[in-house]
Amino acid sequence: MIQLIVFLPLLAAIVAGLGNRAIGNVPAKAVTTAALFVSCALSWPIFIHYLSGGDPYSVQQVFTWMKSGDLDVAWALRADALTAVMLVVITSVSALVHLYSWGYMDEDPDQPRFFAYLSLFTFAMLMLVTANNLVQMFFGWEGVGLASYLLIGFWFKKPSANAAAIKAFVVNRVGDLGFMLGIFGTFLVFGTVSIPEILANAPHMAGSTIGFLGHRFDTMTVLCLCLFVGAMGKSAQLGLHTWLPDAMEGPTPVSALIHAATMVTAGVFMVCRLSPMFETSEVALNFVVTIGAATCLFAATIGTCQNDIKRVIAYSTCSQLGYMFFAAGSGAYGAAMFHLFTHAFFKALLFLGAGSVIHAMHHEQDMRFYGGLRKEIPITFWAMLLGTLAITGVGIAGVFGFAGFYSKDAILELAFASGRGSGAFVVGVLAALLTSFYSWRLMFLTFWGKPRWAQSEHIQHALHDAHGHGHDHHDSEAGSTASTSAHEDERAPDAAHLPTGTGAYHPHESPLSMLIPLILLSIGAVFAGFVFHGAFVDPTAGETYWRGAIAFNEHLYHASHEVPELVKLSATIVMLLGFAGAWMAYIWRTDIPARFTKTFYVIYDFVFHKWYFDELYNLLFVRPAFAFGRLFWKAGDEGTIDRFGPNGSAWVVAFGSRVAGRLQSGYVYTYAFVMLIGLTAAVTWAIAR
């Protein structure tokens, strides 16, 4: 069964990719979407099997991949409780994204290629999560990197999309270098790349040292830190996060797939899969907590002042991943996976809901030109409202809560109970406040207030095109970023004080193929936490469910139930404060944002420019890299290699040809003269000897 789950998306990608326009749009979409729904249908029984206490794990051998000396890499598919969670997350979200794309990409001329890339992406992620050894995991790891490059740059005629794809690829290569070093070092230390063998022997290596960069360090600390650098790149943690917001240049379904179910969760999965290794190094766990908490707060601050609806949700993803990492660093791997599970549903819902809004607004992405949409697109409104209730963690303990209520609260309580994560608890509570604020800010700017549609030049151009000039779906979303930047006023980012629109443009609800995924994901956002929280984070049930798939600290989970009542209520309190702040600023007193940014413009500029990470990296890395490139190009390649290599050789040949050409005059006396000179020289040489 697991072979079908993994390889059906690959087969579909091959059919759609090679068939392309020869088979047409509908067959390509039908094959890929059907394959994903079959994989999804097969994944849920595996998940239920482990929930009901099935076998700890199973391994299906496919074939021997490579064998050289001590290196023996078998291509095998591993199924256990951790894999089961990832299977349902990946296949469920990916299947719904495929279905959603039927409507969203309906006007795109390259639909077969798009759906082939989606299925290839899903296959690579499935290979990653079913890997039984580190080399196979690295294959999937690089596969999602390749597929993300193809999907982010899908509209390759759009310069910003090409730049974003290259940025994602390059930044992830930095993280992948650390991951490769970790794999090499792990093989050097353990003599194998088999994950079960490595995890079984990891406790025996605690306290040993290894030579690294000319010094001796704790072996497991070096290995875990190298591996975690790979996770930082793939899961966009602070320092290697800069590619994630730019990934919004791809089509909206791509954003949902990358952010909700696949690429960005790979790092969290890897840390949880190798949790017995990380448990042997206190330094590595502290580092994971620190990076996760810093990312959680950093991304949340940026989300509060973004105007592009997709970028707000993108930074939200970055922040939520920080929660998962500081949970893992605190030893609460089950809670990290639980939040990954619930996050997949409400984040996919929010992204696809945002795509429905963008579709309704003729691909305008700037929230300052929305307003009053709840009556125009009611299904999308209710779906995004449920997603917002889920991400902000609305719920009543012991009664009912939305998905994020159970997973985020569990992380905060476990972080407080863990001495290692107590500082992260404070950061997490502050990030929860900001999460509530920017989530409700998005809702209020988009669905409440008076319509501001007439202010958008992009919509006005679309209306003009609709009166006889036509409009291409590719160009419409491709131009949305330019439209946003053209209207940005950094001192008044929310523009709630601007005059309202004339109502010349009326948004429309999305087609059924886009609404069905929103409805299904809404069910997950509402009930995923309520139904499954016991299996993931209940001390006794969790130990039964995970059964060796991760390092499960039952005592930590028991301790989390004994934390003070104020700790348990903290997430709810800040959620209400964030809602109240957003309501005051964007419903009651809409002049507050402009006054705030005018008064605290230094802070606002700092946060609006994303803490100047892009500018700093451009100064430290991009410009020097281009300078070195020009130096090696002009002085090295052209000035030295070409000059003395092919160009120099060509000059010698040309010069010799000209000299030889002068000797080949065609006159007999010239040839006789040359022969005489040659004979004289030969005689002279013979006498001289």
- What confidence score (pLDDT) does residue 493 get? 40
Q: List pLDDT tens digits, range 240-259.
A: 988 888 888 888 888 888 87
Amino acid letter, 149: Y
| DSSP assignment string, 452-476 | -GGG-HHHHHHHHHHTTT---HHHH
- What confidence score (pLDDT) does residue 471 get? 37
Least confident of 30-44, 493-507, 551-565: 493-507
Cβ 402 vs Cβ 389: under 8 Å:
yes
- Kindly list the domain boundaries of the chain, sorted by start residue: 281-608, 610-644, 658-689
pLDDT at 491 over 50: no
Instruction: Give dist(CA 435, CA 322) in Å, integer.
Output: 12
Return the bridge partners of 61, or none: 76
| DSSP assignment string, 173-193 | HHHHHHHHHHHHHHHHHHS--
- What confidence score (pLDDT) does residue 484 get? 38
- Exposed/middle/buried for residue 315 (C-beta within 10 Å: 0-12, 13-18, 19+): buried
Instruction: State the average pLDDT over residues 534-546.
Output: 77
Q: How many CA atoms lie within 13 A of 447 on its CB side?
A: 22
Cβ 3 vs Cβ 60: under 8 Å:
yes
Instruction: Give dist(CA 32, CA 95) in Å, integer.
Output: 9
With the C-alpha atoms ordered 317, 321, 54, 410, is the resulting torsion angle positive or negative? Answer: negative
Instruction: State the average pLDDT over residues 75-94.
Output: 92
Instruction: Give dist(CA 133, CA 136) in Å, integer.
Output: 6
Radius of gyration of the chain (CA): 30
What is the residue whose two structure tokens read 């990358």?
A: 258
Confidence of residue 495 (pLDDT cuts 50, 70, 90): very low
Mean pLDDT of the chain: 86
Q: List pLDDT tens digits, range 403-455.
A: 999 999 999 999 999 877 678 899 999 999 999 999 999 999 999 988 887 66
- Which range is most confident: 21-25, 241-245, 289-293, 645-649? 289-293
Q: pLDDT > 70: what percent of the chain? A: 92
Instruction: State the average pLDDT over residues 89-101.
Output: 94
Least confident of 234-248, 302-316, 469-483: 469-483
Instruction: Give dist(CA 572, CA 606) in Å, integer.
Output: 29
- What confidence score (pLDDT) does residue 505 get? 64
- What confidence score (pLDDT) does residue 490 get? 37
pLDDT at 644 over 90: no
Instruction: Give dist(CA 656, CA 146) in Å, integer.
Output: 50
Secondary structure of 257-309 as H, E, C letters: HHHHCCHHHHHHHHHHHCHHHHCCCHHHHHHHHHHHHHHHHHHHHHHCCCCEH
pTM: 0.87
Instruction: Give dist(CA 325, CA 437) in Å, integer.
Output: 22
Q: pLDDT > 90: what percent of the chain? A: 51
Instruction: Give dist(CA 382, CA 353) in Å, integer.
Output: 9
pLDDT at 483 over 80: no
